[in-house]
Amino acid sequence: MREHPDDEHKRVSHETIYRGLFIQTRGVLKKELLAHLRATRFIRRSRHATLKRSGLGRIRETVSIRKRPADVEDRAVPGHWEGDLIAGSGNSFIATLVERHSRYVMLAKVGNKDSHSVVQALIKQSDKLPKELYRSLTWDRGTEMSGHRNFTLATDIDVFFCDPHSPWQRGTNENTNRLLRHYFPKGTDLSIHSQAKLSAVARQLNERPRKTLNYQTPAERFQACVASIR
> Quick one: 112 and 150 in the same domain?
yes
59 domain-assigned: no
> Quick one: 134 and 206 in the same domain?
yes
> Quick one: 32 and 87 in the same domain?
no
In the predicted model, residues of the chain with pLDDT beneath 70 are 1, 9, 14-57
Q: Provide the b/e sequence for 155-175 (b: ≥16 CB within 10 Å).
A: bebbbbbbeeebbebbebbbb
- Residue 71 is predicted with a pLDDT of 86
183: three-class secondary structure by DSSP: coil
> Quick one: 81 and 193 in the same domain?
yes
> Quick one: 31 and 119 in the same domain?
no
Domain that holds residue 36: 7-45
- Residue 208 is predicted with a pLDDT of 96
> Quick one: 106 and 154 in the same domain?
yes
Q: Please tell me the pTM assigned to this model.
A: 0.75
- Residue 56 is predicted with a pLDDT of 43
- Residue 209 is predicted with a pLDDT of 96
> Quick one: 40 and 133 in the same domain?
no
- Residue 42 is predicted with a pLDDT of 54
In degrees and rounded to multiples of 5, residue 33 shows phi and psi of -70, -40
- Residue 214 is predicted with a pLDDT of 94
Count of Cβ atoms closer than 10 Å to residue 50 Cβ: 15
2 domain-assigned: no
> Quick one: 93 and 193 in the same domain?
yes
Count of domains for the chain: 2
> Quick one: 198 and 116 in the same domain?
yes
CA–CA dist 113, 143 (Å, integer): 8
- Residue 127 is predicted with a pLDDT of 94
> Quick one: 26 and 80 in the same domain?
no
> Quick one: 21 and 129 in the same domain?
no
51 domain-assigned: no
- Residue 37 is predicted with a pLDDT of 65
DSSP string, 77-133: SS-EEEEEEEEETTTEEEEEEEETTT--EEEEEES-SSHHHHHHHHHHHHTTS-GGG
